Amino acid sequence: MDTSNPEIKQKEEEKKMPEVYFEDLDLSDNVLDALYDMRFEKCTPVQAQCIPPILNHHDVLGVAQTGTGKTAAYLLPILTLLERDSHPADAVNCLVIAPTRELARQIDQALQGFAYYTNVNAVAVYGGNDGVRYEQERRSLQAGADIVLATPGRLITHLQLGTLDLSRTTHLILDEADRMLDMGFAEDILSIVKQMPDNRQTILFSATMPPKIAQLARTVMHNPVEVEIAVSKPAENIKQSLYICHESDKPIILKKVFQEQPPQRVILFCSSKQKVKELAIVLKRNGLNARAMHSDLDQAERDEVMNLFRAHKVDLLVATDIVARGIDIDDITMVINYDAPHDAEDYVHRIGRTARAGRQGNAITLIGEKDLLSLSNIERTLKIKIPREELPEGVRPPQTGKDARNHGHNRNGRSKNGQSRNHRGNTEHGRNESHGRNDARNSQGGKPHGKSDNRPAAKRRPPKSGNGRKPQ
């Protein structure tokens, strides 16, 4: 085997990494009890490499994409530190910032599970809610919370109104920092950091390490431990393909795709919320069980759509990139890029919604004339050639000269078979969900997590033997 190829070398090194079990790490008993109930045993690579330095109070800079278990990689050690170390009861001791409401809700749900047997309390703060929710947030923040989970916009609002004090916050976590910078939150993040002590512990996660993230890390972190895992590579078990077509022919191709595979558990991405609205209406008129997901929906509407989709009461979710990141649904069978993603990172995040937890999945991309440059950049960055599909009968490829001739079509319009080279599948253990506990511990309105008077005692784990609890 040619191990001079860095990608092959990386995969060989990953194979050689020893398995690490949560009980091998210095996590608190209460956290381990929650993991035991949730049937989490083995760490993912990012968890195995991030948890020890966080427990040792180091700053950590993690490069890891969604689906690698990064949420648990920082929540588990932070919960342990908040239990073990002395912290003021009336202060915000840990601040977690996430770019979108959807990711914030996912982190909140994971926190509910991981903190179940602890005395750590948390408040979730994000926009899109009514005045009642805001008042609940305000009261909870003023009372103090071990962990505040927030989106930047809502956080800035509370800071401006004086309902949030970060002067004694000892832990800061920036999740999907690259996304926050892309969304224009750089100045907000820096203004938030200025209100925190200099001797805090800072943990930053990003899917990639562009110069802007490196600069942010230098500004807000102190000698961080750097961990890099699976940088923006599609999972091996995603079957990728694309159609190069006229923009006006996309509905015809979509009809062909759904004739070949009736839509079930499908996410269809569009570039704008207006197109999402229009396409969802067209699909429903054609008898498909489709719903739209976009930023014009208020929080209650978003929750309703996502709950229906999770419950298999909606087959087809038409969405903007608002759901491309952070939404962890394991059984998505297909992702369709109706509009081409802007760059390789967005492409990976979009198609990464399928083929989770070891499953197979399909990712289909429709490339219009204006998207050829984006396609070229995506393939060059990821070092892959996405297989081209044959266009439906009567549909002609766009006439774009050399670009069209070189993007997969021969003279009779049939597709060439480009072999996709993808790397790293998703890991099965240690995902960021809180399995089965969310209904019992829903934190609406900023209610704290952690123990309550009516909460059952922990189901004690069996005594550890050897180097940790191993599967039977």
Which pLDDT score is estimated for 136? 80
Give the model confidence (pLDDT) of 94-139 as tens digits. 999 999 888 898 899 999 999 999 999 999 998 765 666 778 888 8
Confidence of residue 303 (pLDDT cuts 50, 70, 90): confident
Give the model confidence (pLDDT) of 139-173 as tens digits. 888 777 899 999 998 899 889 988 899 999 999 99
Q: Give which of 394, 397, 442 is closest to 415, Cα–Cα.
A: 397
Q: In angstroms, rounded to a whole number, what is the distance separating the alpha carbons of residues 32 and 20?
A: 14
Q: In angstroms, rounded to a whole number, what is the distance separating the alpha carbons of residues 399 and 246?
A: 9
Domain that holds residue 154: 6-232+427-446
Residue 416 lies in a domain: no
Give residues with Cβ within 8 angstroms of 238, minimum separation 6.
351, 352, 354, 355, 360, 361, 362, 363, 422
CB 76 within 8 A of CB 31: yes
CB 267 within 8 A of CB 353: yes
Which pLDDT score is estimated for 359? 85
Residue 419 lies in a domain: no
Considering the chain, what percentage of its residues have pLDDT values greater than 90? 50
Residue 154 lies in a domain: yes
Answer yes or no: do 39 and 168 share one domain: yes
Residue 470 lies in a domain: no
Answer yes or no: do 392 and 363 share one domain: yes
**Cα–chain-centroid distance for residue 273?**
20
CB 103 within 8 A of CB 175: yes
- In this structure, the number of other CB atoms found within 10 A of the CB of residue 343 comes to 15
Of the residues 405, 438, 455, the one at which a domain ends = 405
Q: Does 355 have pLDDT greater than 80?
A: yes
Residue 466 lies in a domain: no
Answer yes or no: do 252 and 394 share one domain: yes
Confidence of residue 30 (pLDDT cuts 50, 70, 90): very high
Answer yes or no: do 373 and 280 share one domain: yes
Q: Give which of 230, 203, 194 is closest to 98, Cα–Cα.
A: 203
Answer yes or no: do 210 and 285 share one domain: no
Q: Does 284 have pLDDT greater than 60?
A: yes
Residue 275 lies in a domain: yes
Q: Does 37 have pLDDT greater than 50?
A: yes
**Domain at 357, CATH number:** 3.40.50.300
Answer yes or no: do 167 and 279 share one domain: no
Q: In angstroms, rounded to a whole number, what is the distance separating the alpha carbons of residues 366 and 407?
A: 13
Inter-CA distances, 261 with 45, 266, 303, 334, 391, Å? 35, 10, 27, 10, 16
Pick from 98-107, 232-241, 310-319, 428-437 the range whose average pLDDT is largest.
310-319
Give the model confidence (pLDDT) of 54-70 as tens digits. 999 999 999 886 667 88
Answer yes or no: do 302 and 432 share one domain: no
Which pLDDT score is estimated for 344? 77
Residue 415 lies in a domain: no
Q: How many structural domains comprise the chain?
A: 2
Give the model confidence (pLDDT) of 412-466 as tens digits. 333 333 333 333 333 333 333 333 333 333 333 444 455 444 445 555 565 544 3
Q: Does 209 have pLDDT greater than 50?
A: yes
Give residues with Cβ within 8 angstroms of 180, minimum separation 6.
97, 99, 152, 174, 186, 189
Q: What are phi and psi of 116, to 5 degrees?
A: -55, -40
Confidence of residue 406 (pLDDT cuts 50, 70, 90): very low
Answer yes or no: do 160 and 209 share one domain: yes
Answer yes or no: do 213 and 248 share one domain: no
Of the residues 405, 438, 458, the one at which a domain ends = 405
Answer yes or no: do 220 and 130 share one domain: yes
Answer yes or no: do 280 and 375 share one domain: yes
CB 164 within 8 A of CB 72: no
Q: What is the mean pLDDT of the chain?
A: 80
Q: In angstroms, rounded to a whole number, what is the distance separating the alpha carbons of residues 436 and 38?
A: 8
Q: Tell me the whole-structure pTM to 2 decimals.
A: 0.58
Answer yes or no: do 220 and 256 share one domain: no
Residue 247 lies in a domain: yes
